[in-house]
Chain A
Amino acid sequence: MKKAKTYKLITEITGIILSALLLFPFFLVVINSAKKSADIVISPIALPSDLGQVLENMKNVINNQNFSYWKSFGSSLLITCTALLLLTLFSSMAAWVLVRNRTKWSNVIFMMFVAAMVIPFQVVMLPLLSTFRSFSSFTGISMLSSYKGIIFAYLGFGGSMSVFILHGFIKGIPYELEEAALIDGCSPEGTFFRIIFPLLKPIHMTVIILNGIWIWNDYLLPSLMLGLNGRIKTLPVAVSSFVGSYVKQWDLILTAALLAMIPIVILFVIAQKQIIQGMVEGAIK
């Protein structure tokens, strides 16, 4: 009995120490965002003397030309939300057709989506840029450094995994449900939007979380398509551009990092369970 008790004590202490250690970097970001540059030089681990400094730093960073927090935050939000909305809609539509329409062609298309999950971004990024560039100059629809271009790109890159996940889920929905609606005179598209689409809600959660975290944090694609100092910046690009122009100004850089972290931390606190579940489910599939 005594042994079990010591064992429990040891795990409790390990837990506390470990979580303190692992969260320490976040703590450092917070305390150093509330310091002046000179105070960081003196000691980066001392507690800040004046918490009001954090507002001062934030004001400097938010209005900075390279960072322009609200604008980049808005761009990130717009890109992520639109891409997720379209991705969920279009990949559900595609997956539904691929499941219910068992022909050679649908098999080929599905296999292509599955195989494409192996393709790393690096191997397509350079030709993608040149394809988009020539497409823009030919048709006059600007694809680089525009919202529609980057949203379109996320649709293509997120599509294969989303279809794969949704395909597996839709297979489990009995066809009798649709048959009944079709016999009652419902059109095929009506069947999809009225009957199948609402049933997909739990799996949409997974698709949205997996793609959302990735799109929100993605750096390489927006940095290439939008440019580091372009008109539109996502948050990671803005942070990087800010760091590039304020080398070693750690008080401001850490404040920028803090500002970039806040939205996702808030989201995590609100929807912790769904986020963890969504990301784990996505990995296992």
Chain B
Amino acid sequence: MKGVKKLNINVKRTLSILEITVGFILICFALYLDVSGSEHSMRGTILTAGALLVILGVYCIPTRKHRAIVNVLFLFPLVFAFAVTVLVPFALGIFYSFTNWTGIRFTEFVGLDNYIRMFRSRDYVYSFVITFIFTVFNMFLVNLAAFSLALLCTSNVRGKNFYRAAFFLPNLIGGIVLGYVWQFIFNKVFTSIFAGSASMLTDPNLALLAILMVSTWQYAGYIMMIYVTGLQSVPKDILEASGVDGANRWITLFKIKMPMMANTFTVCIFLTLVNSFKQFDLNLAITNGAPSRILGLKPVSSTEFMALNIYKTAIAKNEYALGQTKAVVFFVILAIVSLTQVYISKKKEVEM
């Protein structure tokens, strides 16, 4: 019995070593084809097959370190995908922002030139400012709307579940599709209800208001559900005690419920802050930056937020290095916001 087992292990070991060797040879062969410039269509398949064989071989090899091998193999797929799609491009992106990158290659370092050019360009500074204005208003409106809706949905009104679902629904449908629908509403429906009026999307200020409206409409239902969870987590006995003490509805709301859910407010405010700042889909589908506003005798796109500005700089104007530089600044701002959030919630935890 013991002999058979030993034989088995030997067979297994030989097999897995064979698999690793064959896999390795296949990988080398595929890489040789790549380097030698051959356009053979099977080289991708050979590479993948080789890699899979090596993985299988490593997995099957009988050893005391099996646990460690399993650990590495379990981590590998996700870490590999993460490194290739996030880490490497992120590092490259920061690097490219200091070069004259064209999207395909770069020829020289330009130092801070891109950054200087960016802050000197009128459309970027404008887009910077308008994004902040939008973010502040949107944050305020979404939270106000969401909290009011949450109060409605936690009151003893009939059909609460229907309301929750109805308010939540817009958030499930993509910003692109909703954006086109709203473009129709602004251009056709509103101009037909208020007969004779021009479309909101032709005036720079009203167009911003239009995006704010849609963004609040789309997002409030989601934030509302977080507020509902917060409101429901206020302990019942405290509410009962305050009722006995004669606190009315409003006092209960402002003096008890709201202070008790301070954490929920922090979460919601930062969530809306980050998401408003990153707004892209609605911006693209509703106005695509239009209409233009005359600023110092030159036109700029009046509703082009930063995300759209980055996209247009790189994809439409083909200025990859400049677009990438704008994206790096975009990232830095978001990182600062997130660190502030972490700092605030850590501080709150200590206080509690």
CB distance from B341 to the nearest CB of A (A): 10
Q: Does B32 contact A (CB under 8 A)?
A: no
A25-B185, A97-B71, A112-B87 known; A126 vs B34 contact (CB < 8 Å): no
Interface residues of A in 111-139 (CB under 8 A from B): 112-113, 116, 118-120, 122-131, 133, 135, 138-139
Q: Which residue of chain B has the shortest Cβ distance to A250 in the bound complex?
A: B184
Interface residues of B in 328-344 (CB under 8 A from A): 328, 330-331, 334-335, 338
Secondary structure type dominating chain A contacts: helix
Q: Is the CB of B74 within 8 A of A268?
A: no
CB distance from A191 to the nearest CB of B (A): 10
Q: Is the CB of B189 within 8 A of A45?
A: yes
Q: Is the CB of B174 within 8 A of A219?
A: yes
Determine the interface band of chain B, counting residues with CB < 8 A from chain A. Answer: 35 or more
**Residue interface bits A235-267, CB-to-B below 8 A is 1, else 0:** 110011001000000100110010011001100
**Residue interface bits B76-103, CB-to-A below 8 A is 1, else 0:** 0111011111111110110010000001
Q: Does A213 contact B (CB under 8 A)?
A: yes
Q: Is the CB of A152 within 8 A of B81?
A: yes
CB distance from A179 to the nearest CB of B (A): 13
A12-B158, A97-B74 known; A280 vs B226 contact (CB < 8 Å): yes
Q: Is the CB of B331 within 8 A of A119?
A: yes
Which residues of A lie under 8 Å from residue B82 when comparing CB positions? Answer: 112-113, 116, 155-156, 159-160
Which residue of B43, B164, B314 is within 8 Å of A139 (Cβ)?
A: B43
Q: Which residue of chain B has the shortest Cβ distance to A14 in the bound complex?
A: B152
**Residue interface bits A11-28, CB-to-B below 8 A is 1, else 0:** 110110011001101101
A11 CA to B152 CA, complexed, in Å: 7
A122-B310, A156-B86 known; A138 vs B48 contact (CB < 8 Å): no
Which residues of A lie under 8 Å from residue B84 when comparing CB positions? Answer: 131, 135, 152, 156
A11-B157, A123-B327, A236-B177 known; A213 vs B172 contact (CB < 8 Å): yes
Which residue of B90, B182, B311 is within 8 Å of A124 (Cβ)?
A: B90
Q: Is the CB of B177 within 8 A of A187?
A: no
A264 CA to B169 CA, complexed, in Å: 9
A26 CA to B166 CA, complexed, in Å: 11
Q: Is the CB of B311 within 8 A of A284?
A: no
A109 CA to B72 CA, complexed, in Å: 12
Q: Is the CB of A19 within 8 A of B163?
A: yes
**Residue interface bits B31-44, CB-to-A below 8 A is 1, else 0:** 00110000111111
Which residues of B lie under 8 Å from residue A176 when comparing CB positions? Answer: none
A53 CA to B118 CA, complexed, in Å: 51
Which residues of A lie under 8 Å from residue B185 when comparing CB positions? Answer: 25, 28
**Residue interface bits B113-151, CB-to-A below 8 A is 1, else 0:** 000000000000000000000000000000000000100
Which residue of B96, B166, B307, B311 is within 8 Å of A127 (Cβ)?
A: B96
Q: Does A188 contact B (CB under 8 A)?
A: yes
Which residues of A lie under 8 Å from residue B225 when comparing CB positions? Answer: 276, 279-280
Q: Is the CB of B331 within 8 A of A141?
A: no
Q: Is the CB of A45 within 8 A of B327?
A: no
Which residues of B lie under 8 Å from residue A261 when comparing CB positions? Answer: 173, 177
Q: Which residue of chain B has the shortest Cβ distance to A156 in the bound complex?
A: B85
Q: Which residue of chain B has the shortest Cβ distance to A155 in the bound complex?
A: B81
Which residues of A lie under 8 Å from residue B181 when comparing CB positions? Answer: 25, 28-29, 254, 257
Interface Cβ pair total, 8 Å cutoff: 263
A19-B166, A131-B88, A188-B66 known; A260 vs B78 contact (CB < 8 Å): no
A45-B192, A124-B85 known; A265 vs B169 contact (CB < 8 Å): yes
Q: Does A220 contact B (CB under 8 A)?
A: yes
Q: Which residue of chain B has the shortest Cβ distance to A93 in the bound complex?
A: B74
Q: Is the CB of A119 within 8 A of B170?
A: no
Interface residues of B in 10-53 (CB under 8 A from A): 30, 33-34, 39-44, 47-48
Q: Which residue of chain A has the shortest Cβ distance to B104 in the bound complex?
A: A130
Q: Does A65 contact B (CB under 8 A)?
A: no
CB distance from A12 to the nearest CB of B (A): 6
Which residue of A141, A142, A279 is within 8 Å of B48 (Cβ)?
A: A141
Q: Is the CB of A109 within 8 A of B165?
A: no
A177 CA to B304 CA, complexed, in Å: 55
Most chain B CB within a 10 A radius of its CB, from A8, A122, A260, A283: A122
Which residues of B lie under 8 Å from residue A236 when comparing CB positions? Answer: 174, 176-177
Q: Is the CB of B78 within 8 A of A155?
A: yes
Q: Does A90 contact B (CB under 8 A)?
A: yes
Q: Is the CB of B157 within 8 A of A15?
A: yes
Q: Is the CB of B166 within 8 A of A124?
A: no
Q: Is the CB of B78 within 8 A of A90?
A: yes
Q: A25-B181, A28-B184, A119-B90 are in contact. List 9 more A-B contacts (CB 8 A).
A: A120-B278, A126-B93, A127-B93, A128-B89, A141-B47, A189-B74, A219-B174, A257-B177, A265-B169
Interface residues of A (CB under 8 A from B): 7-8, 11-12, 14-15, 18-19, 22-23, 25-26, 28-29, 32, 40, 43-45, 86, 90-91, 93-94, 96-98, 101, 109, 112-113, 116, 118-120, 122-131, 133, 135, 138-142, 152-153, 155-157, 159-160, 163, 187-189, 192, 213, 216-220, 224, 235-236, 239-240, 243, 250, 253-254, 257, 260-261, 264-265, 268, 272, 275-276, 279-280, 283-284
Interface pairs (7), CB distance under 8 Å: A19-B163, A22-B167, A25-B182, A140-B34, A260-B177, A276-B164, A276-B168
